[in-house]
Chains A and B, each alone.
Chain A
Amino acid sequence: MAVTILIPTPLRPFVGGRDALELEGTSVGELLERLTGEHATLRPHLFADDGRLRNFVNVYVNDRDIRQLAQRDTPVKPGDTVSIIPSIAGGAAASVGAPHAAPLPSNAAPAPVLSHEEILRYSRHLILPDVGLEGQKKLKAARVLLVGAGGLGSPAALYLTAAGVGTIGLVDFDVVDKTNLQRQILHGTSTVGTSKLESAAARIHDLNPNVRVEPFETRLTSENALDIIREFDVVADGTDNFPTRYLVNDACVLLDKPNVYGSIFRFEGQASVFHATRGPCYRCLYSEPPPPGLVPSCAEGGVLGVLPGIIGSIQAMETIKLILGVGEPLIGRLVLFDALKLQFRELKLEKDPDCPVCGSHPTITAPIDYEAFCGIGAEPTYDGVEISAQDLKDEWSQNPDLVVIDVREPHEYEITHIDGARLIPLGELPDRLGELDGHKEIVTHCHHGARSLKALEILKAAGFSKVRSLRGGIDAWAVNVDRSLPRY
Chain B
Amino acid sequence: MTLVLDPRHASAIRRHGEADYPAEACGLIGGAVEGDQKITVQVVPLVNRRTDSARNRYLIDPDSFRHGEERLERDGLEVIGVYHSHPDHPAVPSAFDREHAWPRLSYVIVGVSRGNATELKSWVLADDRGSFEEEQITNEERKAVWQ
Do A and B come from the same complex?
A: yes
Give the interface of A toward B (CB within 8 A).
8-11, 13-14, 41, 44-45, 55-56, 58, 60, 65, 85-95, 98, 101, 103-106, 108-110, 112, 141, 197-198, 201-202, 205, 209, 212-216, 227, 230-231, 255-256
List, sorted by A's number, 6 A–B pairs whose CB atoms are closer than 8 Å.
A9-B80, A45-B102, A56-B100, A91-B50, A91-B96, A230-B118
Task: Return the CB mask of B67-98 against A: 1 if under 8 Å, else 0.
Answer: 00100000000111010101111111111110
Cβ-defined contact, B90 with A91, below 8 A: no
Cβ-defined contact, B145 with A214, below 8 A: yes
Closest A residue to B105 by beta carbon equals A10
Cβ-defined contact, A101 with B94, below 8 A: yes
Instruction: Knowing A9-B79, A9-B80, say if A90 contacts B89 (CB, 8 Å).
Output: no
Q: Is B120 an interface residue (CB 8 A)?
A: yes
Task: Return the CB mask of B43-83 against A: 1 if under 8 Å, else 0.
Answer: 00000001001011111111001100100000000111010
Q: Provide the residues of chain B in CB contact with A86, threshold 8 Å.
A: 60, 62, 65, 102
Task: Return the CB mask of B94-114 against A: 1 if under 8 Å, else 0.
Answer: 111101111111010001010
Cβ-defined contact, A92 with B56, below 8 A: yes
Q: In the bound complex, how far is the Cα of B142 from the Cα of A241, in angstroms?
A: 25
Cβ-defined contact, B90 with A205, below 8 A: no
Closest B residue to A57 by beta carbon equals B102
Cβ-defined contact, A213 with B128, below 8 A: no
Instruction: Knowing A10-B105, A44-B129, A110-B131, say if A101 contacts B95 (CB, 8 Å).
Output: yes
Q: Provide the residues of chain B in CB contact with A65, threshold 8 Å.
A: 62
Instruction: Knowing A41-B127, A44-B128, A214-B145, say if A90 contacts B96 (CB, 8 Å).
Output: yes
Nearest chain A CB to B72's CB is how many angstroms away? 9
Nearest chain B CB to A122's CB is how many angstroms away? 20
Instruction: Knowing A103-B90, A106-B111, say if A88 contacts B82 (CB, 8 Å).
Output: yes
Q: In the bound complex, how far is the Cα of B89 from the Cα of A108, in angstroms?
A: 11
Q: Is B136 an interface residue (CB 8 A)?
A: yes
Cβ-defined contact, A90 with B147, below 8 A: no
Q: In the bound complex, how far is the Cα of B91 from the Cα of A104, in angstroms?
A: 9
Q: In the bound complex, how far is the Cα of B87 from the Cα of A120, in angstroms?
A: 39
Nearest chain B CB to A464's CB is how many angstroms away? 51
Q: Provide the residues of chain B in CB contact with A215, threshold 8 Å.
A: 142, 144-146
Cβ-defined contact, B89 with A103, below 8 A: yes
Q: In the bound complex, how far is the Cα of B147 from the Cα of A110, in angstroms?
A: 23
Q: In the bound complex, how far is the Cα of B104 from the Cα of A9, in angstroms?
A: 9
Q: In the bound complex, how far is the Cα of B119 from the Cα of A202, in angstroms?
A: 28
Size bracket of the B interface = 35 or more
Q: In the bound complex, how far is the Cα of B60 from the Cα of A91, in angstroms?
A: 12
Q: Which of A87, A93, A109 has a CB less than 8 Å from the CB of B59?
A: A87
Nearest chain A CB to B145's CB is how many angstroms away? 7
Nearest chain B CB to A193's CB is how many angstroms away? 17
Q: In the bound complex, how far is the Cα of B56 from the Cα of A89, in angstroms?
A: 11
Cβ-defined contact, B57 with A91, below 8 A: yes
Q: Provide the residues of chain B in CB contact with A87, threshold 8 Å.
A: 59-62, 65
Nearest chain A CB to B112's CB is how many angstroms away? 10
Q: Provide the residues of chain B in CB contact with A89, threshold 8 Å.
A: 50, 57-60, 96, 100
Q: Is B16 an interface residue (CB 8 A)?
A: no
Instruction: Knowing A10-B102, A90-B93, A93-B96, say if A58 contacts B62 (CB, 8 Å).
Output: yes
Cβ-defined contact, A205 with B57, below 8 A: no
Cβ-defined contact, B118 with A106, below 8 A: yes
Q: Provide the residues of chain B in CB contact with A93, threshold 8 Å.
A: 56, 89, 94, 96
Nearest chain B CB to A71's CB is how many angstroms away? 15
Q: Is B24 an interface residue (CB 8 A)?
A: yes
Q: In the bound complex, how far is the Cα of B132 from the Cα of A230, in angstroms?
A: 22
Q: Which of B59, B102, B118 has a CB less than 8 Å from the CB of A255?
A: B118
Closest A residue to B87 by beta carbon equals A92
Q: In the bound complex, how far is the Cα of B139 from the Cα of A215, in angstroms?
A: 12
Nearest chain B CB to A51's CB is how many angstroms away? 15
Nearest chain A CB to B24's CB is how many angstroms away? 6
Closest B residue to A84 by beta carbon equals B62
Q: Provide the residues of chain A in CB contact with B62, threshold 8 Å.
A: 58, 60, 65, 85-87
Nearest chain B CB to A69's CB is how many angstroms away? 15
Closest B residue to A205 by beta carbon equals B147
Q: In the bound complex, how far is the Cα of B33 from the Cα of A13, in angstroms?
A: 12
Q: Provide the residues of chain A in CB contact with B20, threshold 8 Å.
A: none
Cβ-defined contact, B118 with A213, below 8 A: no
Cβ-defined contact, B97 with A90, below 8 A: yes
Q: Provide the residues of chain B in CB contact with A9, threshold 8 Å.
A: 69, 78-80, 104-105
Q: In the bound complex, how far is the Cα of B50 from the Cα of A91, in angstroms?
A: 10
Q: In the bound complex, how far is the Cα of B10 from the Cα of A55, in angstroms?
A: 30
Q: Provide the residues of chain A in CB contact with B134, threshold 8 Å.
A: 109-110, 112, 141
Cβ-defined contact, B94 with A14, below 8 A: no
Q: Provide the residues of chain B in CB contact with A44, threshold 8 Å.
A: 128-129
Cβ-defined contact, B142 with A95, below 8 A: no
Q: Provide the residues of chain B in CB contact with A101, threshold 8 Å.
A: 94-95
Cβ-defined contact, B103 with A14, below 8 A: yes
Instruction: Knowing A41-B127, A45-B103, A231-B120, say if A104 contacts B58 (CB, 8 Å).
Output: no
Closest A residue to B66 by beta carbon equals A85
Q: In the bound complex, how far is the Cα of B84 from the Cα of A400, in angstroms?
A: 76
Q: In the bound complex, how far is the Cα of B72 from the Cα of A8, in angstroms?
A: 13
Q: Which of A90, A106, A141 has a CB less than 8 Å from the CB of B107?
A: A90
Cβ-defined contact, A88 with B100, below 8 A: yes
Cβ-defined contact, B57 with A230, below 8 A: no
Nearest chain B CB to A326's CB is how many angstroms away? 20
Closest B residue to A211 by beta carbon equals B147
Closest B residue to A19 by beta carbon equals B78
Cβ-defined contact, B120 with A91, below 8 A: no
Q: In the bound complex, how far is the Cα of B62 from the Cα of A60, in angstroms?
A: 10
Nearest chain A CB to B22's CB is how many angstroms away? 11
Q: In the bound complex, how far is the Cα of B79 from the Cα of A85, in angstroms?
A: 12
Cβ-defined contact, B78 with A90, below 8 A: no
